[in-house]
Structure 1
Amino acid sequence: MMEETAARRAAEKLFAAHTTNVRFEAFGPQDGPAAIPDAYDIQDRFVALLRPEHGEAAGYKVGLTSQAMQAFCGISHPIAGVVLARRIHRSSATVRLAAFGRLGLEFEIAVRIKSDVAANGTPHSAQTIARHIEGVCAAIELVDDRSADYSNLDVRALVADNSWNAGIVVSDFATVWPDLEAARGRASRDGAPVGEGFGQDILGHPFNSVAWLAHQLGSRGERLKAGQVVMTGSVMKTIFPSEAASYRFELEGVGAVEVRVDV
């Protein structure tokens, strides 16, 4: 575990960078996390600084769950971040580009947790985690990468920065859903296609993402709780809007979600 004072100082640096809209960059050698667990220590304290404005933890995002996203970021494993209550938006919400350092949209499958997931030391699988899931929906994650340089990305700094989660937009949750492995998701901008993917692009199955998260939280003495929302990961590469437009993500057999981006 990272020393408390150092973790708090790093979190305050991150908070100030967001407040002043400074470009994303790695920490210096003297003030950054030495390992991924240290990065999550910083994330915990950074999220605590966000809570007064954005509310309590209402769920999590799992990122870098597809080969496309891992290749895009040059990182070979998933990462997690916290979703705060007042950053959860219903479909057809409007967001403004000016509110972000640089807004990215990720087109995802989200789930809602039905019952607490106890950390028993045995990693869950897609099959064992399924009994803890009560709903599935189409979702769009709002990420803020603050114009990061993807050619030299420090995963520890990314994790510390709440894995770039800046909110989510969700459709209604379906209580009955099709085979998510084969479910196709299609994204469009003002009605024109911009990309697509399948549930299997998320670690083979979206529930594998939830299982990974349950293990990750358990390793830190935490757990998934009933009612929380989990963003399981994007089925395609991130889209970075540069002008006003409407985006829609349709997930076969589940539903559709829309977000309007204004300048």
Structure 2
Amino acid sequence: MTMKQTLIAPIALMAVVACATTTAARADCLSDAQVAELAGHYLAKTPAPNFPALSDADGACSRAKLNAQLAPRLGKVIGYKAGLTNPAVQKRFNTDKPVWGKLYEGMVLASGATVDAAFGARPLYEADMLVRVKSAAINHARTPLEVLQHIDQVIPFIELPDLAVQAPPQLNGAGVAAINVGARLGVAGSPIAVPATRGEQYALLDALERMTVTLTDGQGYRLGGGQGADILGQPLQAVVWLAEALQQENIALQPGDLVSLGSFSALLPPRAGLAVTATFDGLPGARPVRVNFK
């Protein structure tokens, strides 16, 4: 063996060992058995065992498997949710990108609804917003203004997500995707119609970006909140991101679909007897949204 061969052999061996170690450390798409267990816990509203940190691809694969398990029980898909669109929430889950999940019929309740404080395995609430798709052309929107031209309603919303697992802080971003971004329930307020003229649309875009969103309890005590720009700099940018992400999996938004844009506030735990109101100051026509926990 030459001197060059003597040097190359250990280096090649080290590369093989490093590759094997990386492969062993990388999580895979959750197995069918793991997903069946996760779905069972979701339906029973009990915390599921945590799973190892996932790659983005394995998170997407696991989400698809979970939705295939849930669809026969939850029914029709009524829209999609963009999650982790707020940098503060991304930081909590050690990621720098959004994720998405599916919304099913029965998940969106009317403002004023009374919900069990234990509505899920790991229940939370947050200030959010829905939009309703008017045209399939939204799938080609590349700016918030183009999004606005292909939706017909902006709807104040309090989302009630469920982080589903025994130790939610251990989830990474892909893990949040794997649990269908915690989609469980939410309460929707009065829709705001999207104006027809370009000038009014620009005014609405500006209001969405500048609005102040506040969560308060029944005594008016501030629980949390944020600004419109907390969602990707402009809330409708979440729809641009979502449409592109869905297309990567051959899914297209359809007229009538609802889209949840993400969190304007921290994720907060409910308790029995708590009444939560979300206000959207600076957004013309926005009425408060309320949920009561029992």
With the shorter chain as reference, the TM-score category is 0.7 to 0.9
TM-score under structure 2 length normalisation: 0.78
* Residue 209 (structure 2) aligns with: 181
Q: Is the 8 A contact 2:46 2:120 kept in 1?
A: no
Q: Is the 8 A contact 1:184 1:198 kept in 2?
A: yes
The answer as to 2:70 corresponding to 1:50 is: yes
CA pair 55-229 structure 1, distance change in 2 beyond 3 A:
same
The answer as to 2:264 corresponding to 1:235 is: yes
* Residue 257 (structure 1) aligns with: 289
Question: Runs (4+) of structure 1 moved beyond 6 Å?
Answer: none
Q: Is the 8 A contact 1:72 1:150 kept in 2?
A: no
* Residue 150 (structure 2) aligns with: 132
Indicate the structure whose relative CO is greater, using CA pairs within 8 Å and at least 6 residues apart: 1
1:5-49: CA deviations, max 9, x gaps?
A: 965444212112324555344425xxx8x5323322322232232
Q: Which has the larger radius of gyration?
A: 2
Q: Distance in 1 between matches of 2:265 and 2:119?
A: 24
Q: Distance in 2 between matches of 1:147 and 1:242?
A: 19
* Residue 118 (structure 2) aligns with: 98
Q: Distance in 1 between matches of 2:117 and 2:73?
A: 19
Q: Distance in 2 between matches of 1:81 and 1:165?
A: 7
Higher mean C-alpha displacement, 160-169 vs 124-133? 124-133
Q: 2:228 aligns with which of 195, 199, 203?
A: 199
More strand by share: 1
SS of residue paired to 1:200: helix
TM-score under structure 1 length normalisation: 0.86
Between Structure 1 and Structure 2, how many residues are aligned? 252
CA pair 6-183 structure 1, distance change in 2 beyond 3 A:
closer
Between the two proteins, what is the percent identity of the paired residues? 25
Equivalent residues in 2 for 1:103-122, closer than 5 Å: 103-117=123-137
Q: Which consecutive unaligned segments of at least 5 residues does structure 2 have?
A: 1-28, 196-203
* Residue 61 (structure 1) aligns with: 81
Q: Let me know the Cα RMSD of the aligned residues.
A: 2.3
SS of residue paired to 1:43: helix
More helix by share: 2
* Residue 158 (structure 1) aligns with: 176
Q: Which consecutive unaligned segments of at least 5 residues does structure 1 have?
A: none
